[in-house]
Amino acid sequence: MHRVAEKIIFFTAVIKNLMELWNEIIHTAMLGTDKKAISVDTLADDLSEAATLINSNTNTDKEEKFLQLASVIFNYRQSGALPLYKEEINLQPASTEEKEYCSIEAMQALQDILSEESIPLLKFWLRHCNGRQRIVNPAIIPNLFSIAMQNKSLQLPVANCCGKRGEWLARFNDAWNFSVSELPEQIWQTGTTEQRKSILKDTRKINPQLAREWLIQTWPQEDAAARISLLELLNENIGEEDIPFLEQVLSDKSKKVKEEALNLLKQIPSSPIVQLYQRVIQQAISMKKEKTLLGLSSKTVLNFTLAGTINEEVFKSGIQKLSSQKDTSDERFIIYQLLSQVPPSFLETHLGATPLEIIRWFSNSEDGEKLLPAIGLAAGRFKDKTWANHIINDDHRIYLDLIPLLPYNTREKYLLAHFDNAAETIVNVISREENEWSAELTKQVFKYTAKNPYQYNRSFYNMHIHLFPVQIVGELERCTPPEDNLRGMWNNTSDYIIKLISLKIQTIKAFIN
Amino acid sequence: MTLSEEQILALAPDEASRKSGKDLANPSKWVMKAVNDAALWGECQGSGSKPYQTQIDIANIAFKCSCPSRKFPCKHGLGLLLLYARQKNSFSSAGAPAWVTEWLAKRTEKQEKQEEKKDKPVDEAAQAKRQQARQLKVNDGIDELKVWLKDIVRNGILNMPEKGDTYFLNVAKRMVDAQAPGLAGMIRSLAEINFYTEGWQTKFMDQLLRIYMIAEGYGNINSLNDSLQQDIRTWIGFTQNQEELKEKDGIVDTWLVLGKQTIEEDAVTTERNWLYGIDTNSYALVLQFIIRGQGAQLTLTPGLFMQAELVFFPSLSPLRAIIRQQINTNAISTFKGWFANWNEVAQSETMLNAVLPFRSERPFVLQQLKPVNYNGQWWLQDAQQKMMQLKNDYKTIWKILAISGGEPVDMAVIGREDSYEPVGIWHNDEYKIL
C-alpha cells in the first residue's frame, strides 16, 4: 500500500476526468460487484500501472479487487484536490463606519444582558446606544440580528446600532433585512409588514397627513389582515381630515375592516356618526331649574329622557338597545353608551356650563351619578385632558383610561390614592407604559406583587425592568411581606431584581461618557 | 495569564455553569480575593456558613474549590477567573494562605510522583503474552470485518439507507470485542452518515475505503515500515503507553490553542484540542478523555497561548501529541510560516495523503482569506482568487463576515481535501474564536 501511495504523489498534476473516474467507482458500488464490474478502460493513464497490478493478482476475488482499486482512486482523488479558481468572484467589503464604536464597558453590559436573555433590558441598552449615536462591536451583530428576527420590535433599534457593517451583513441574509438605510417611503413601499407598520406609526406621529396618503395609495393592494393592522395605526393623531378616507373604508368587503373604520370615526368629534350621537344626546339630556324645599332658592336638575323615535342608524352603528343589567333601564343604558361616545366638551355647549358645574349636576341625581362614568370614558376616547382632570378630582371612582391624560404629579397622586382599592388593575394598566415609574409607585407595586408571587413571578420583573427606577434597590427590603412563607420567596425575587437593576445601572454608566 | 472572557467561558462544562459563573464574577460575592505569580484565590460566600475556598493555578490553569459541586471547573472557579479577567486591580497581592500553598505543593508533589512511577519495573513476559493474545483477537476481528466489507460491495450500497443503525453497530460491537476500538469507531461513523443528503454515497465510500485500507494494512503489517505500522496500530485502537511516550524528545514551542471540538458519548467526553506551534510552525492534536464525574487533567481553551513541550505519537504524519509540560504565556501576535494560499495547503495535503491515505482532518493556518459567495454557497478565497468550500457554512460564516467586513483575514481552518471549517480568525492582532 505504501508503494502505491508513493506513486500517487506524482499523479497530482494530472487530474484527467477525475470526477468521471470517481463516479464510476460510485456507480459500481451502488449496484454491487455482482451486477457491475468496474471498467478499466475508463481509468486515467496515471492509474493503469496500479490497476494492472491489482487485476493481475490471482489470489483476490472481484470484491477485493474493487476495494483495492477504489482505494487507489480514492487517494488519487483526494491527493489531486485543488482549489477552485474563478475570476471575478468578489465580495464588496463593508463601508467605513460613520459612528463611533461602543466602549468596552458598554459591550460588557450588552454581553451580560444577552446572557440574562432579557429583551426589555436589551431594548433599554439599544435605546442608550442609539441615543449616544454609538455602534456595537461587529462580532456581536449576527447574535443581535438573530434575536431581532424573533422580536420584531427590536429590529429598527438593532439595525441602528449595527451601523454600516450591519447594513452590509444583512444583504447576505434575507431574514436580517431590517436595515435602516432606506428612506421611510421606500420601507413603506417595499418593507415587511412589521417594517411598514413601524414606519407608518412613526410617520403618523410627525406627519399624520402623509401617513394617511401613503395608506390611501397602497390601500387597494393590501389584504384584509394588513388593512386592519394598518388602519389601527391611524388612531394616533386622528382628525377631521381622515373622515373622507374612513367613510370610504366603511364600504370595505371585510366586516372587521368596516368595524375598525367606524371605531376610528367615533373618535373624531366632527364625524357624521359622532354628530348623530350628539343630536340624540342633545334631545335626551335637558336641564331645568327646581325650587328648593323651602322655595328660597333654586337648583339645576338634569333630565335624561330619550326622544320617542331614534334614528335607526344609531343602533346600526353598534349602540345596544337592551340593557343586560337589572338595575339599569334600557333607556339609561342607551344614553350611557351615547354619552361615552360624544366629546365631553359638547356637554359644555349644550348645557351652557363649565365642566365643574356639569359634573356637580350629574352627581346630584341618581341617574346622573350612574351616567357620570360615561363622561369619563368619553374624556379618554377624545383625549380631553381638561375633562380628565375634572373627572378624577370630582369623582371617587377610578378611571384607568384617563391615567395617560393626567399630568405627572396628578397621575402619581391619583394612582397612589387608589392603589389599595384597585391594585391588580392599576398594575396591569401601568405595566403597559413605557416611561419609568416613580420610586414610591414602584414600592407600592412591589408590596402588592410580593404578596402574590405566583401571579408576579420572575418573568414579570424581567418583562418590566425598564419601568423600575434604580433607586428602588434600597427599598426592596421594605416591600417584604410579613408572612413567613412569602418572605423567603421575596428575598429570592429581590436578588433577581437587584441583578436586573445592576445591569440597568451598568448600561447607564457605560453610556455616560 | 491573559485569557479573555470568551476563552474563560469556553472552559465551562455546561450552559448553567457558564451562567452561574458570570453571576459570580461580581466583587460583592467574594469575601476576599488575591493573586500572586502562581495562583489566584478567593473566598466566596455560598449557602453554607463558611465561605467556599476557590483557587486557580494560573501557570497551568487548574481549579480547586471547597464547594460540593461535581462540575469541573465549578461556577466559583469560573466566576473568580472571570472577575480577574475583568478587574485585575481589585485583587490584592497578599501572601498566599496555607490552603493555597498546600494545594500548589501537592500538585508539584503529584507531578514528581508521576515521574517516579516511570522507574517501576515492567513484567515484559506477561506484557508480551497479553499483546500476542490481543493480536490474535484483532486478526480474527479483521477477518470478519473484511467479509462484511466484501458483502457490502458485492450487494451494492444502494440499499444502505434502509439498513438502519444496528447493521453497523453490530459490527462495531464485534470490533470492540476483538479489541479494535479504533475500527469500531470508524464503523460507527458509517451509521452517522446522513443518508438523506446529496452525496452520501461518496461520504460512505470514503469511510468504507479508509476502513478497508487499515484492515488490509494490518494484514500486511510486517511488510511495512515502523512508522506506518505504528499509524495502522493506532487507527486500529492499540494504545500507546503515554509514560513511554513522555520519555521521548518533544517539541518545545509557544503553542496556540486554535480550536476545541467536544464530543459527548455515553459517560465519556472527548475533547479534541487543535494546537499550533508558533516557532516550529507545527500542528498538533491533543486529545483528552473525561469520564463523567471526574475532573479534566488539562484545561485548554481556544485562544490560549502556552509555552509547552509536546511529544508526538509516532506517525508518518505526526499530529496527535501529549503535553509533557505546560506554562501559560502571554498572547503573541507575530507569526511566521503560515500557508500563503490554498495551493500550498493542497500540496501539503498531497504529501500527507501520499504517506497516509486514510488520515484524518488537519488544521491549517492560512493568510488573508476572504469569504465569497459562489453558486449559492460560501467559499474562502485566497489572494490568488482560488477558493475552497466552507464546511458547515452556516455555523461560522456570519461571524466571519461580521468581524472581517469582507476584508481578507488570517484564518485557522480544520479540514481536508476540498472543504474546510474555520475555527478562528485574527482580527486586530487578536485571535478570535468562531
Judge contact between B69 and B14, C-beta under 8 A.
Answer: no
Distance in angstroms (rounded) separating the CA atoms of residues A353 and A357 = 6
Closest CA to B388 of B366, B347, B419, B353: B419
Angle at alpha carbon of residue A475, lines to A484 and B45, rounded to 5°:
70
**Judgement on whether residues A383 and A320 belong to the same structural domain of the protein:** yes
Residue type, B150: K
DSSP letter, residue A470? G
B244 by DSSP, 3-state: which? helix
Judge contact between A274 and A266, C-beta under 8 A.
Answer: yes
Beta-ladder partners of B433: B424
Phi-psi region at A216: left, alpha or beta (left = phi > 0; alpha = psi -120 to 50): alpha
**What is the complex's ipTM, to 2 decimals?**
0.86
DSSP letter, residue B280? T
Closest CA to B340 of B367, B313, B317, B322: B367
**Least CB–CB distance from A31: residue in B156, B216, B401:** B156
**Judgement on whether residues A327 and A342 belong to the same structural domain of the protein:** yes
**Judgement on whether residues A12 and A60 belong to the same structural domain of the protein:** yes
The H-assigned helical ranges of A80-183 are: 104-116, 119-131, 141-150, 155-161, 163-170
Contacts of A125 (CB under 8 A, 6+ apart): A106, A109, A110, A113, A507
Distance from CA of A173 to the nearest CA of B (A): 9
The H-assigned helical ranges of B156-284 are: 165-177, 181-191, 200-219, 226-236, 242-247
Judge contact between A6 and B351, C-beta under 8 A.
Answer: no
**Judgement on whether residues A291 and A389 belong to the same structural domain of the protein:** yes
**Judgement on whether residues A379 and A458 belong to the same structural domain of the protein:** no
pLDDT over threshold 60, residue A30: yes
pLDDT over threshold 50, residue A3: no
pLDDT over threshold 70, residue A513: no
Closest CA to A72 of B228, B354, B218: B354
**Least CB–CB distance from B157: residue in A29, A90, A141:** A29
**Judgement on whether residues A133 and A66 belong to the same structural domain of the protein:** no
**pLDDT value, residue B138:** 95
**Judgement on whether residues A391 and A449 belong to the same structural domain of the protein:** no
pLDDT over threshold 80, residue A47: yes
Residue A414: how many other CB atoms lie within 10 Å:
19
**Judgement on whether residues A293 and A250 belong to the same structural domain of the protein:** no
Residue B125: how many other CB atoms lie within 10 Å:
8
pLDDT over threshold 80, residue B393: no
Give the number of C-alpha atoms closer than 13 A to the C-alpha of residue A93, restricted to the C-beta side: 11
**pLDDT value, residue A4:** 41
CB contacts of B399 in chain A (<8 Å) are 139, 142
**Judgement on whether residues A369 and A330 belong to the same structural domain of the protein:** yes
**pLDDT value, residue A61:** 93
Give percent above pLDDT 70 in chain B.
94
CB spacing of A79 vs B349 below 8 angstroms? yes
Answer whether residue A486 is part of any domain.
yes
Residues 173-202 of A with CB under 8 A from B: 173
Which of A286-290, B13-17, B167-171 has the largest mean confidence?
Answer: B167-171
Grid coordinates of B105: 505543593
CB contacts of A84 in chain B (<8 Å) are 374, 379, 386-389
Contacts of A40 (CB under 8 A, 6+ apart): A48, A51, A55
Strands A100-101 and A84-85: unpaired
**Quick check: A59 contacting B, CB < 8 Å?**
no
Min mean pLDDT across A4-18, A147-161, B359-373 is at A4-18
Cβ-in-10-Å burial (0-12, 13-18, 19+) of A490 comes to buried
Answer whether residue A89 is part of any domain.
no
Rounded-to-10 torsion of CA A173, A178, A180, A185: 120
CB spacing of B209 vs A35 below 8 angstroms? no
Residue in this structure with the C-alpha cell 505546560, named with its chain if needed: B326
Tell me the average pLDDT across B94-117: 81
Tell me the average pLDDT across A437-445: 95
Rounded-to-10 torsion of CA B351, B353, B355, B357: 180
The dihedral built from the CA positions of residue A376, A381, A387 and A392, taken in this order, carries a sign that is positive
Tell me the average pLDDT across B10-23: 86
Give percent above pLDDT 90 in chain A.
66
- The Cα-based distances of B155 to B19, B85, B149, B151, B300 in angstroms read 53, 60, 10, 6, 46
Judge contact between A403 and A441, C-beta under 8 A.
Answer: no
CB contacts of B356 in chain A (<8 Å) are 5
pLDDT over threshold 60, residue A15: no
Residue type, B12: A
Closest CA to B286 of B320, B313, B254: B320
Last residue of a domain, one of A181, A211, A234: A181
Give the number of C-alpha atoms closer than 13 A to the C-alpha of residue B100, restricted to the C-beta side: 22
**Judgement on whether residues A337 and A435 belong to the same structural domain of the protein:** no
Local confidence band at A396 (pLDDT 50, 70, 90 cut-offs): confident
DSSP letter, residue B291? E
CB contacts of B206 in chain A (<8 Å) are 74
Answer whether residue A85 is part of any domain.
no
Distance in angstroms (rounded) separating the CA atoms of residues B56 and B39 = 5
Distance in angstroms (rounded) separating the CA atoms of residues B423 and B409 = 13
Distance in angstroms (rounded) separating the CA atoms of residues A100 and A105 = 14
Q: What is the pLDDT of residues B245-303, one digit of tens each?
A: 888 889 999 999 999 988 877 778 888 999 999 999 999 999 988 877 666 777 888 98
**Quick check: A101 contacting B, CB < 8 Å?**
no
DSSP letter, residue B100? H
**Judgement on whether residues A291 and A399 belong to the same structural domain of the protein:** yes
pLDDT over threshold 50, residue A8: no
Q: What is the domain range of residue A241? A: 193-265
CB spacing of B355 vs A2 below 8 angstroms? yes
CA-nearest residue to B408 within chain A is A93
Answer whether residue A186 is part of any domain.
no
Grid coordinates of B386: 482560488
- The Cα-based distances of A388 to A155, A294, A362, B279 in angstroms read 36, 36, 16, 78
**pLDDT value, residue A6:** 41
pLDDT over threshold 50, residue A235: yes
- The Cα-based distances of B95 to B32, B34, B60, B100, B183 in angstroms read 13, 8, 20, 10, 53
Min mean pLDDT across A271-285, A294-308, A409-423, B71-85 is at A294-308
Answer whether residue A274 is part of any domain.
no
**Least CB–CB distance from B402: residue in A8, A33, A142:** A142
Judge contact between B249 and B311, C-beta under 8 A.
Answer: yes
**pLDDT value, residue B128:** 85
Distance from CA of A99 to the nearest CA of B (A): 16
Tell me the average pLDDT across A197-205: 91
- Inter-chain contacts counted by CB atoms under 8 A, chains A and B: 170
Distance in angstroms (rounded) separating the CA atoms of residues B81 and B9 = 10
Distance in angstroms (rounded) separating the CA atoms of residues B310 and A395 = 84
Judge contact between A107 and A137, C-beta under 8 A.
Answer: yes
Greater confidence (A41 vs B214) lies with B214
Query: What average pLDDT is seen over chain B?
Result: 89
**Quick check: A86 contacting B, CB < 8 Å?**
yes
CB spacing of B398 vs A173 below 8 angstroms? yes
Answer whether residue A174 is part of any domain.
yes
Q: What is the pLDDT of residues B186-224, one digit of tens each?
A: 999 999 999 999 899 999 999 999 999 999 999 999 999
Q: What is the pLDDT of residues B107-127, one digit of tens each?
A: 888 777 766 655 566 678 888
Residue B334: how many other CB atoms lie within 10 Å:
6
Tell me the average pLDDT across A399-416: 89
Judge contact between B111 and B326, C-beta under 8 A.
Answer: no
Q: What is the pLDDT of residues A260-316, one digit of tens each?
A: 999 999 999 999 999 999 999 999 999 888 777 666 777 888 999 988 888 899 999
Answer whether residue A57 is part of any domain.
yes
The dihedral built from the CA positions of residue A433, A439, A445 and A449, taken in this order, carries a sign that is positive
Min mean pLDDT across A204-208, B25-29, B387-391 is at B25-29
Q: In what order do the strands lie in the sheet with B39-44?
A: B30-35, B39-44, B52-57, B62-65
Min mean pLDDT across A77-81, B354-358, B394-398 is at B394-398
**Least CB–CB distance from B228: residue in A2, A70, A89:** A2
CB spacing of A2 vs B353 below 8 angstroms? no
Local confidence band at A7 (pLDDT 50, 70, 90 cut-offs): very low
Count of structural domains within chain A: 5
Cβ-in-10-Å burial (0-12, 13-18, 19+) of B367 comes to middle
Beta-ladder partners of A134: A100
**Judgement on whether residues A145 and A170 belong to the same structural domain of the protein:** yes
Grid coordinates of B48: 453554607
Distance in angstroms (rounded) separating the CA atoms of residues B203 and A17 = 20
Beta-ladder partners of B34: B41, B92
Beta-ladder partners of A254: none
Last residue of a domain, one of A79, A108, A131: A79
Give the number of C-alpha atoms closer than 13 A to the C-alpha of residue B178, restricted to the C-beta side: 24
Residue in this structure with the C-alpha cell 459570580, named with its chain if needed: B24
Strands A285-291 and A298-304: antiparallel
Q: What is the pLDDT of residues A82-134, one digit of tens each?
A: 999 988 888 999 999 999 999 999 999 999 899 888 999 999 999 999 999 99
pLDDT over threshold 90, residue B46: no
Q: What is the pLDDT of residues A307-359, one digit of tens each?
A: 888 889 999 998 999 988 888 899 999 999 999 999 999 999 999 999 999 99
**pLDDT value, residue A288:** 86
CB spacing of A93 vs B406 below 8 angstroms? yes
pLDDT over threshold 70, residue A173: yes
CB contacts of A67 in chain B (<8 Å) are 149-150, 153, 209, 212, 216
Cβ-in-10-Å burial (0-12, 13-18, 19+) of A288 comes to exposed
